[in-house]
Chains A and B, each alone.
Chain A
Amino acid sequence: MLGHWLPLQPNHITLPNILEAPSLTEWLGYDDLGRPILDRLILGAKTSFLVAFGVISVSLIVGTLIGILSGWFGGYIDLIIVRIMDIFLAFPGILLAIALSGILGPGIENIVFALSVVGWVGFARLARAQTLSLKNRDHVLAAIALGAKTGRILRYHILPLLLAPLLIEATFGIAGVVIAEAGLSFLGLGVQPPMASWGSMIKHGTSYMLMAPHMVLAPGLALLLIVLSVNILGDNLRDRLDVHSR
């Protein structure tokens, strides 16, 4: 995120430095066009987090809204929404996102759209389940008895209690979106050059693996570190919160 203020030159081409290995002056070396990999890595981080922020925000808002409505109203509305969620869950992994971004064409907005179409379901399921358990709580029943309007109940008595688990889910969702974005970019469906993405950097580097393995190593390690940290955080949280596994 700080990359914006750093003196980076991710697209600066220095021909004599082509494929140069990492050194003390340029920590991660240069790519096939003589561009500094560290600078491109930081630019790629910006792409990843921009996409992650966009996808998580859209999915969180849309998913929560649909989930609350489904859980609160129940009946046919709930039945239909649950069926729709089942349909979206029937597409394995990022397959639907691959199809969508393939058909919509490359570009950062299309990636955000494609991954949000896949991402909202998780939030909707969580919001629905929470609303179902919250709607019979005493304070909600009291609000209904006092004649509060539905909108007011949802906004002031249900939503604040939903927010904590949803925000935890959102935090862990970031790692998933970063991986998915890199995956799409690896397939050539993500952001286009000269913009950098860790996925397209890996893809690009595979052609030069014999001469310059650092081109693949650097963005891959960056991805691994991010996902690893989120997973370790998740494991520790689960161990602390889950009494059964002690």
Chain B
Amino acid sequence: MLSFLFSRLFSTLIVMLGVVTLVFLLIHLVPGDPVQAMLGESATSVDQEVLRTSLGLDQPLLTQWQSYISGLFQGDLGISLYSKNPIIDMLWERLPATLELAIAGLLVALILAIPLGSIAALRKDGMYDNIAMVFALLGVSIPNFWLGPMLIYLFSLTFGWLPVSGNDSLLSLILPALTLGTALAAILARMIRSTLLEVLNEDYIRTARAKGLRESAIVIHHALRNASLPLITVLGLQLGTLLGGAVITEIIFAWPGIGQLTIESIERRDYPVVQACILLISLSYVLVNTLTDLIYTWLDPRVNYSA
């Protein structure tokens, strides 16, 4: 178990180092001179040199990489070219909104998927099953940048029930969370249905039925519990899609999170901030995935650690 833990953490570290390197190299992909691109045509050559030195772009690539990494360890992500604030402070300021949105999206997905998937499995091939699976198919196919505006049109502009954008109240969280969570809900509902169908054929379910247990107790205590293991894996993997989708959702609803900061910074050519945002989102994704893996092996004693 311990050697599995170490090898898993070691490969996570390598992937994280790779992610950091790739993000570090991003700024060197800017066509032409990155300093000129960031400052614009009108900047004087003195300004350009000052920025070049402060970003370390006049140093050899390896030295730049080393100082980027050592900066990361000290929590120093540099200064925003636009606002002149430390980037780390900007991330801290925006992170809570993104976390709030991601958690709300996850909750929406679970609240929709668990009943939808379970009842579909229990009433296999019935009318409810068909309706639920059509919903799931629509859910995975609908692009979130279209679902969002449609929800706004329906619930904000037509009925006037919910605010169009912003995050001042819990009400304003509903539409963004629905936009973000629908695709995940659809994926999870299909998965819960298929896992439950498998589990419901197992011997221990037959035993539970033979004991005369109520159907609801069988489903909740025996079937759903065993079906929850694959659910955790899928949830961990899909959290990345959720984080990626949060960028678009934040733009639709003017949600002041990391995603909005990313796009704003791209528009302002504030590339150090873009780098930091991408880094934060991907590193959290890597960490969540590793955590999911570890939780899974811990929960399921049948997993082979040597694998």
Contact = CB atoms under 8 A, between A and B. Distances in A.
Contacts of A231: 137, 140-141
A187 interface: yes
Q: Describe A's contact surface by its main secondary structure.
A: helix
A202 B282 contact: no
Q: Describe B's contact surface by its main secondary structure.
A: helix
Given A90-B285, A209-B157, A100 B29 contact: yes
B247 A210 contact: no
B11 A86 contact: yes
A186 interface: yes
Interface residues of A, number: 45
Interface in B137-160: 137-138, 140-143, 145-146, 149-150, 152-153, 157
B294 interface: no
A228 B141 contact: yes
Contacts of B267: 188
Contacts of B137: 228, 231-232, 235
Interface in A13-66: none
A227 B153 contact: no
Given A98-B262, A202-B145, A216-B146, A209 B26 contact: no
Interface string B126-137: 000000000001
Interface residues on B, range: 35 or more
A170 to B, nearest CB: 19
Given A86-B15, A91-B19, A227 B263 contact: no
Given A83-B15, A105-B31, A231-B140, A95 B282 contact: yes
Interface stretch (B39-47, B65-73, B237-245, B297-305): B237-245
A103 B146 contact: no
Interface in A115-134: none
A83 B252 CA distance: 35
B31 A220 contact: no
B19 A102 contact: no
Interface in B262-289: 262-263, 266-267, 271, 274-275, 278, 281-282, 285-286
20 contacts: A83-B11, A87-B15, A90-B19, A90-B282, A92-B239, A92-B285, A93-B241, A93-B244, A95-B278, A95-B282, A96-B278, A98-B262, A98-B278, A99-B26, A186-B248, A187-B247, A187-B251, A188-B263, A210-B157, A213-B153
Q: 5 closest Cβ contacts across the A-B interface?
A: A93-B244, A92-B240, A87-B18, A102-B266, A220-B146
